[in-house]
Structure 1
Amino acid sequence: MTDNTDITIPAVGEGPEYEKINIWLPALALEAARRGTAVIEGKTFRNCLIEGPAVLLPIGACNFDGCNMGDAQGDIRNLLLQPLGPQKVTGTVAFKDCQFINCQFLRVGFTGSPDFLEQIQQVLTGGAQ
């Protein structure tokens, strides 16, 4: 058996601005948790590659401006996950009041309120379903 204790993942950092870097969402979420917060709040991501596997949960006023949301394999709804519970979604990376500008998402799904899911679907399909 191989000893993997020497494997390290470079720190993403506390921000508040991230520009032209690759961000592995599980690492960003873990760093936030180690700082005592479950929500990544008030950050700006510009021209970043944001990678999963992960499910992003926007709360508050998150904006996605000029972003490539990922490979939907022909149907944008493939990237969207509807929560079944009315109050909470477990296992997501939560963002509050964050800006995503010209970012590319890879292996990331999106979840949130019904209004958010409908809005992002409308924006990305140009209103077609």
Structure 2
Amino acid sequence: MTDTQTTPITLELLGPGPEYKKVSVWLPQLFMETSRTGVFAIENRTFIDCLIEGPAVLLAVEGCNFDGCNMGEAHGDPRNLMLAPQGAQRVTGPIPFKNCQFINCRFLGVGFTGSAAFIETMVSALGGAPA
């Protein structure tokens, strides 16, 4: 017999920021909270000592900085964390971030995408491709 009694899952709202400190941030939730206000990019936010959780792909549109962050398990090759856009103009699916600061954050289950320059910079900052 199947139990038909269910308890709804309730998540505490993350809120509009602009600063998040020492909290777990589930990226799909942050995106949905933001998009419900009619804004479809996470903009002008600062994340300090946060756990940034996926599954998600973070699209760095512009002005995003990662200072002292653990970007996640790359399994020996930082390129494993990067996804290259295939189209010249748009990317559908990733969560766009613009002018956001990540300070001493830890990423879990998050991939990263952006311009070719962003991807190259990130791979280099994470130690470069293995020889």
Asked whether the two chains share a fold, i.e. TM above 0.5, the reply is yes
Count of aligned pairs = 129
Question: How far apart in 2 are the matches of 1:127 and 1:91?
Answer: 26
Cα distance in 2 for partners of 1:9, 1:74 equals: 34
Identity %: 57
Structure 1: 5+ residue stretches without partners: none
1:114 is matched by which residue type in structure 2? A
Q: Any conservation in 1 of the 2:27–2:52 contact (CA below 8 Å)? A: yes
User: Which residue is 1:60 aligned to?
Assistant: 62
Q: TM-score, normalised by structure 2?
A: 0.92
Compared with structure 1, are the counterparts of its residues 26 and 4 closer, same or farther at alpha carbon in structure 2 (3 Å cutoff)? farther
Partner of 2:124: 122
TM-score w.r.t. the length of structure 1 is 0.94
Query: 2:23 matched to which residue of 1?
Result: 21
Which sections of structure 2, spanning at least 5 residues, go unmatched?
A: none
User: 2: distance between equivalents of 1:107 and 1:29?
Assistant: 16
Aligned-pair RMSD on alpha carbons?
1.6
Contact 1:32 1:40 (C-alpha < 8 Å) held by counterparts? yes
Q: Which has the larger radius of gyration?
A: 2
Q: 1:90 aligns with which of 89, 92, 100?
A: 92
